[in-house]
Amino acid sequence: MSYTAINLDQLKAQISDYWSPKIIGQMNDYQFKLAKALGEFVWHSHADTDEVFIILDGELIIEMRDGQVTLKKGEMFIVPKGIEHRPVASSECHLLLIEPAGTVNTGNAGGKLTVDADWI
């Protein structure tokens, strides 16, 4: 068997589209996804799962209807299942998402930003 490290810097350099997560690994039923963010995403929620955001570069604000959290490089936040939220990046931000396989990026909102996460 061959063992290879996953290099996050090399993989994030391959991502060109904003708000289009790319799968980089899977552990049991959970996927690790890299994404690049800029601007406002859609308000959405995930009824059946929490969602983990880990900031690799830049800054991301996660707005919730009753407050918000600002995340900087090296910080993480877990959005509890069922909580409506909207990620916002005023400048380019790279992040790692951890969520169950098959989780739709726009949750219950759908729309033009909905994508099927591909492996990178």
- The pTM assigned to this predicted structure is 0.94
pLDDT band for position 116 (cuts 50, 70, 90): confident
Of the chain, the percentage scoring pLDDT greater than 70 comes to: 100
* φ/ψ of residue 8, rounded to 5: -65, -40
Q: How many domains does the chain have?
A: 1
**Can you give the CATH number for the domain in which 80 is found?**
2.60.120.10
Residue 117 lies in a domain: no
User: Which tens digit of pLDDT belongs to each residue from 30-47?
Assistant: 999 999 999 999 999 999
Residue 3 lies in a domain: no
Residue 96 lies in a domain: yes
User: Which tens digit of pLDDT belongs to each residue from 48-82?
Assistant: 999 999 999 999 999 999 999 999 999 999 999 99
Residue 34 lies in a domain: yes
pLDDT value at position 106? 81
Residue 1 lies in a domain: no
Q: Which domain holds residue 29?
A: 11-106
> Can you list the positions of beta strands (E) in 51-108?
51-57, 59-64, 67-72, 76-79, 85-100
